[in-house]
């Protein structure tokens, strides 16, 4: 239903949306994010900064901004992160400037962050965020998916499973909840939520002008 | 995207939605309501009671419940309306029982009511309603549409136009706003909003059981 949104955006010039999608590792969030970015040209991905090393195939500036610990601390000190956290011994943060730029131009920003990041972002944005949590169909299915990747040791998988249970326990900090038992259906649900959220009155920054012209008889 | 919603509803048994669509007469709301009811088998229309006489073609129990003034007063006295109001010298009210029944069975209810009704319903439901306002593209287009019906005198049309401006001035009591300059696009937007609202965490009444089973490792 993407093709119907622009005429409203044109008329009502709207504020961009902070669109947060969280889920345990292995629940399919990355696939959904990729499909969403392909389908929605007005949406852009927030690229996190991290102090961890790139994995094979990861591209600096696309998957992450790979930075030194000193550089990370400078950004924190300058208050140039929207949120940041320690995860598994590394630091991850969301650079503020590209998000501010996108929002001010009426573009929506997609965040692939965990519940702590979602909470910090919610506070920073004065509550004006959209938060979606994606559940795996079951924990046994989540473990099966993690094992099918054949990239992680048993120990790493056990760590991811424990972390998944922790993530899931924070489901009540989200506005929408989905189960990913069919990636296409789940992607369509996420897209439907994005389209609906764009129609919220509170985001139509020029609506008052249009309403005034109507009431004047225009 | 209707076909993706049921699996979530099955898993998460949800509370039905009070789905309010308001707009000035002539902005196309009736057409959109009809299309929505055709497309969404889980949605049902709230049929208002009124003391006015049926117009040609109107069916008792489908378009309205046509009742006497005495009967209307009895229903008011028994507190069996969710909301009621005087409009143009007649009384209109929303019977409570069918709405309670639908919601308790997880079905959504569509209300074609004005801003006063929307406000009363919002209060009755403790805020758990979805309110959509549909704007005409312009007042001159609204007047053109009213004249094209060839059912109303100049005087009635002038009354409708004045009432339309009044309705529009209450746009800020709505959650979503749309412009109906293309009825198909507008219908798709309303449907998108319904689908997204069904995915709200706060409406998934059995979610907590599912989350517990996940955290236990199920």
pLDDT, chain B, mean: 89
Q: By CA distance, what is A169's nearest residue in B? A: B215
Contacts of B183 by beta carbon, 8 Å cutoff, 6+ apart: B28, B31, B32
Q: What is the C-alpha to C-alpha distance for residues A111 and A122, in angstroms, rounded to an integer?
A: 12
**Chosen from B3, B189, B198 to mutate, greatest number of chain A CBs within 10 A:** B189
According to the model, what pLDDT value does residue B194 have? Answer: 97
Q: What is the C-alpha to C-alpha distance for residues B138 and A212, in angstroms, rounded to an integer?
A: 11
Contacts of B61 by beta carbon, 8 Å cutoff, 6+ apart: B47
Residue B5 has pLDDT above 50, yes or no: no
- In which band, very low, low, confident or very high, does the pLDDT at A1 lie, cut at 50, 70 and 90? very low
Q: Is the distance from CB of A110 to CB of A46 less than 8 angstroms?
A: yes
Q: What angle do CA A186, B194, A41 make, to 5 degrees?
A: 55
CA atoms within 13 A on the CB side of A156: 10
- In which band, very low, low, confident or very high, does the pLDDT at A105 lie, cut at 50, 70 and 90? confident
Q: Is the distance from CB of A67 to CB of A51 less than 8 angstroms?
A: yes
**Chosen from A11, A189, A198, A206 to mutate, greatest number of chain B CBs within 10 A:** A189
Task: For residue A175, list chain B residues with Cβ-Cβ distance below 8 A.
Answer: 200-201
Rg (CA), chain A: 19
ipTM of the complex: 0.87
Residue B1 has pLDDT above 70, yes or no: no
- The model's pTM is 0.89
Name the interface residues of A facing B (CB cutoff 8 Å). Answer: 1, 4, 7-8, 11-12, 133, 135-136, 138-140, 165, 168-169, 171-172, 174-179, 181-182, 185, 188-189, 192-193, 195-197, 199-201, 204, 207, 210-211, 213-215, 217-218
**Chosen from B160, B171, B196, B202 to mutate, greatest number of chain A CBs within 10 A:** B196
- Over residues B45-59, the mean pLDDT reads 94
pLDDT above 70 covers what percent of chain A?
Answer: 94
Q: Could you give the strand order of the β-sheet that contains A81-87, starting from the edge strand earlier in sequence? A: A65-66, A49-50, A90-95, A81-87
In order of their start, the domains of chain B are 2-46+107-215 (3.40.50.300)
């Amino acid at each position: 239903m993407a093709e119907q949104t622009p005429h409203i955006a044109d008329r009502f010039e709207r504020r961009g949306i902070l669109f947060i999608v969280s889920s345990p590792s292995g629940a399919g969030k990355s696939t959904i994010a990729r499909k969403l970015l392909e389908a929605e040209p007005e949406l852009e991905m927030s690229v996190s900064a991290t102090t961890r090393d790139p994995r094979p195939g990861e591209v600096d500036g696309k998957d992450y901004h790979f930075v030194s610990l000193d550089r990370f601390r400078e950004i924190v000190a300058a208050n140039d992160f929207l949120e940041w956290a320690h995860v598994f011994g590394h630091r991850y943060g969301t650079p503020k400037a590209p998000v501010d730029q996108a929002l001010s131009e009426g573009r929506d920003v997609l965040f692939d962050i965990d519940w702590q990041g979602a909470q910090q972002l919610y506070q920073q944005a004065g509550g004006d965020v959209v938060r979606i949590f994606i559940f795996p169909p079951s924990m046994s299915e989540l473990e099966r998916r993690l094992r099918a990747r054949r990239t992680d040791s048993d120990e790493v998988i056990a760590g991811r499973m424990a972390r998944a249970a922790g993530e899931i326990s924070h489901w009540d900090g989200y506005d929408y909840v989905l189960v990913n038992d069919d990636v296409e259906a789940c992607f369509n649900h996420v897209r439907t939520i994005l389209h609906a959220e764009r129609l919220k009155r509170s985001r139509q920054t020029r609506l008052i002008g249009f309403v005034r012209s109507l009431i004047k008889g225009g």
